[in-house]
Structure 1
Amino acid sequence: MEGRLHTGIDVLDRKLDGGLPPGCVVAYTAAPASQSELLLYELTAARGTLYISTERSDQSIRHAVDSSMARVGTPTVRRIDSQNPLEEATRLIGALPEGANLIVDPMDPLERTDREAYVDFLNALKDRMLETRSIAILHCLKADDQPANRSTTEHVADAVFNLQTRVGATELENFLTIPKYRHGGAPTETIKLQLSERVEIDTSRDIA
């Protein structure tokens, strides 16, 4: 579809009619013990990317991206101090250039801050994405003790990508669903992915 920005991941671009609209904010939910980061790394191939890490060091992120077997870019990586995560993230996002990607990995430390301050942060983030015609991917880890503001993230986000990993007796399966997509035309079917060296559709067998 005209005007959309390619994600750089073929399977997603096909399912989303060419990509995501400029200004789109995506909450990407996945288990910590999954290959969810592979999708984040591939997103960096499409355009200039600011990769904000809230846990791993910037050197660790750069090494992971550089070591990936998939097609990736050369993101600008910044690790923020957990003492003032909203303030630091706001400062970095304020310098985001036109038509860029923003990745926050993971969102958990930001989601554990004061709710009112967090809502203000999300609204400012959305405004900045619209101003710069950029795309934000917020990596939200699933856990039994998920942050109190997780539901706020999913509500404010324009789209929710949900990665589910199933461990079977002989294989590991990954399924991507898009339960929320404000821009219309969201795929209604579950997408079975193969997450090994890169993000690909798993055609080994039909989805049950």
Structure 2
Amino acid sequence: MALTPDDVVTKQFQHVRFKEGFDPDEVDDFLDEIVVEWRKTIEENDQLKAKLAEYEAGGAPAAASTEAPAAEVVEEVPAAEAAPEPAVEAAAPASGGAAASAGIIELAQRLHDEHVAEGVAQRDQLISDAQAQANQIVSEAEARGRDEMAKLERERTALEGRITELRNFERDYRAQLRSYMEGKLRDLETTATSSGSTPVSAIGL
């Protein structure tokens, strides 16, 4: 089936899943068809141009033919004037081929622009995703660091409180032990005095 400019303009590609854009194989096949039809159009244009050149070259000697009576010249003038009509008819396919070529070029440029725009969009999306992921990693690391610092601070506070408790316990224990020992010494002295023995303090204890 011959490819027309309308076919090029109205061509629809199937969208693929899991990613944006058209199916590359389908686009390549369609572009191959475009290239084939384009080459045919160029060949037809070249052939039409060659035929037109041959026609124009063949009509020139006829105009320069030997002299004829005035009546015959008058009769041949309409035929000479009607001669360019095939050239006009031949020019029509040439203009149609030029329009088809322009349509193909426009489609190729549009596909190129779409692929470039898609590539730029994917690049920007990848950069944005990477930046967001990096920011998330940094934020999570900072949050973990703050949590660890807070945990260490709580542990330090707990240890300091425990040390303070142990110091207070030691001080109280020493005071109680001293009071206990002094009480025992007083009891011994009192017992020794009442029994007439030498006081413990006099012995030098």
Structure number with higher strand proportion: 1
Name which one, 1 or 2, has greater alpha-carbon Rg: 2
Give the TM-score, by structure 2 length: 0.20
Structure number with higher helix proportion: 2
